[in-house]
Structure 1
Amino acid sequence: MVPPPPSNKPHVCLSTILIMGSMALMDAYLVEQNQGPRKIGVCIMVTVGDICFLIVLRYVAVWVGAEVRTAKRGYAMILWFLYIFVLEIKVYFIYQNYKADRKSLDTIARKALTLLLSVSVPVLYIILVGIDHMEYVRAFKKKEEIRNRLFWVVVDLLDILDIQANLWEPQKKGLPLWTEGLMFFYCYILLLILPCVSLSEISMQGINIVPHKMMLYPILSLVTINIITLLIRGGNLIFYKDMRVSGILMGKNLIAIVLKTCSFVQYKSHMQNVPSALGVELQKNTTPHSQPMPAPPQVLIQDLTSLPEVTVCDHT
């Protein structure tokens, strides 16, 4: 099946360059972590994998570029899922190599890996959303509200990546094996699902975007990110004395919990007021029709068929 020509070629080129550039840097990490004959085998393996990925990306990215100026986000979700699925597999092997080689404490390389993920993943999400190309959203207020919601998605992505980065950055005391595996795959699932939920909310709204009805992602992020990641950081700090826990992101989670709770309360009160306001409006509209119609003017027709009586006068 031949894909249609993209309506936004710079969008396709930018997303393709970002995806393949981040993949190439991940491949460089994997190759450098192996020595001797194994290094050549790993190089051949990642090259073949990148060629296959590029073939699939050629079709998917063009389809995304064809729908970027519409309310559809189906291929954008497919591209996001494909990218994160492959990227996190490479991150897992890099993390396992760092874990096996505890003598190598190359802090700069590990920090660079964290920086690479914290830039490429949120930027790709912003490109896929294409918020600046939403011509079907005419109201400036609605567009700004959507931008604010997407900002929270980007912050949540950085929050998830910070949890993952604690696994490969230098640490004085390692976490238990089951804790590390649970943390990695929990973040992996969140990176796969939550951005797709946000993209699907925009897609389902279509041209009649009503931002206050896009409540699925805020509810999921409140539970899975703001509450659970706060518990993860608190548990690592209390039980495992992990000093790499970010106090700033813990504060962000607390603020987000308060703000989103207030938003939910306001939304609930808004939905309760809508039926009453609608009933009052209907009552106003039906009141003039319920009044009795004035009686039509009656026309009295005088009976002129009978002649008046004539009095006869006697003439003398």
Structure 2
Amino acid sequence: MVPPPPTNKPHVCLSTFLIMSSMALIDAYLVEQNHGPRKIGICIMVMVGDICFLIVLRYVAVWVGAEVRTAKRGYAMILWFLYIFVLEIKVYFVYQNYKADRKSLDALARKALTLLLSICIPVLFVVLVAIDHMEYVRAFKKREEIRNRLFWVVVDLLDILDIQANLWEPQKKGLPLWAEGLMFFYCYILLLVLPCVSLSEISMQGINIVPHKMLLYPILSLVTINIITIFIRGGNMLLYRDARVSGILIGKNVLAIILKTCSFVQYRRQLQN
């Protein structure tokens, strides 16, 4: 089947640029972490992989551009899943290289990796949602309510990335191997699934979208992020004396639990009335 012409070429170009530029920067980390003949081999491998990914991206991005003004976000979910699936594999190898070379204490490069992921991943999600292109949402109040709900998704993405970044940023005492692996792949799964859940809610609601009925993502994030990450950070702080644990994000999750609980109670009362 021939892909339809994109209804929004700037949207296609922006999403493609964000994806390929972030991939290229992670590739630069992988190449620089290797030396000698191995460096050339890694460079060839990542170039071939990026070319193959770009071929797939060329078709998926066009379909994403074609649905951007509609109530559907099916291809946006596919694009997000492909992007995170490939990107996190590369990040895993970067993290393993840092772990193997403990003598390399380039804190600036490690912080830059965290900053790169913290910008590219949330920005791509906002681009794929494309609230300002939802022509069927004409009411300003409804559009702002959707925007506020999606803001929580962005904050949750940053929360997940903060936990994952603790694995490669400089640390005095490393976590046990099983704990590091569990933390990385738990964050990996959340990055893959939760934004797709948010996008699917938009698709399922359709043109008659009602933001206060979008409850699936808030419930999942309440359990998987707001509650579980408190235990993860608390365990790292109490058991392993990890001084890098963010007290601010623990406070954010406590506040989110309170606000979401109040919202669920109010919504249930409205249904009963």
TM-score > 0.5 by shorter chain: yes
TM-score (norm 2): 0.99
Alignment of 1:136 onto 2:136: yes
1:282-304 Cα deviation digits (max 9, x unpaired) = xxxxxxxxxxxxxxxxxxxxxxx
- Measure the CA separation in 1 of the matches of 2:227 and 2:146: 23
- What are the equivalent positions in structure 2 for 1:156-167 lying under 5 Å apart? 156-167=156-167
Q: In the alignment, which residue of structure 2 is the partner of 1:307?
A: none
- Measure the CA separation in 2 of the matches of 1:209 and 1:2: 30
Q: In the alignment, which residue of structure 1 is the partner of 2:269?
A: 269
The CA deviation at 1:114 is 0.1
Q: In the alignment, which residue of structure 2 is the partner of 1:181?
A: 181
1:238-285 Cα deviation digits (max 9, x unpaired) = 000000001111110010000000000001101111xxxxxxxxxxxx
Q: In the alignment, which residue of structure 1 is the partner of 2:207?
A: 207
Q: In the alignment, which residue of structure 1 is the partner of 2:118?
A: 118
Runs of 4+ aligned residues of structure 1 deviating over 3 Å after TM superposition are none
The CA deviation at 1:233 is 0.3
- Measure the CA separation in 1 of the matches of 2:154 and 2:192: 14
Indicate the structure with greater helix content: 2
The CA deviation at 1:210 is 1.0
- Where does structure 2 lack aligned partners over 5 or more consecutive residues? none
Q: In the alignment, which residue of structure 2 is the partner of 1:11?
A: 11
- Measure the CA separation in 1 of the matches of 2:112 and 2:261: 36
How many residue pairs are counted as aligned between the two chains? 273
Amino acid in the other structure paired with 2:30? L
- What are the equivalent positions in structure 2 for 1:64-83 lying under 5 Å apart? 64-83=64-83
The CA deviation at 1:33 is 0.3
Q: In the alignment, which residue of structure 2 is the partner of 1:27?
A: 27
Amino acid in the other structure paired with 1:64? V
Q: In the alignment, which residue of structure 2 is the partner of 1:61?
A: 61
- Measure the CA separation in 1 of the matches of 2:139 and 2:176: 52
- Measure the CA separation in 2 of the matches of 1:166 and 1:221: 20
The CA deviation at 1:140 is 1.6
1:4-47 Cα deviation digits (max 9, x unpaired) = 11010000000000100000000000000000000000000000
Q: In the alignment, which residue of structure 2 is the partner of 1:89?
A: 89
More deviation in 143-152 or 131-140?
131-140
- Where does structure 1 lack aligned partners over 5 or more consecutive residues? 274-316
TM-score (norm 1): 0.86
SS of equivalent residue, structure 1 residue 206:
helix
Higher RCO (CA-CA < 8 Å; seq separation 6+): 2
Q: In the alignment, which residue of structure 2 is the partner of 1:252?
A: 252
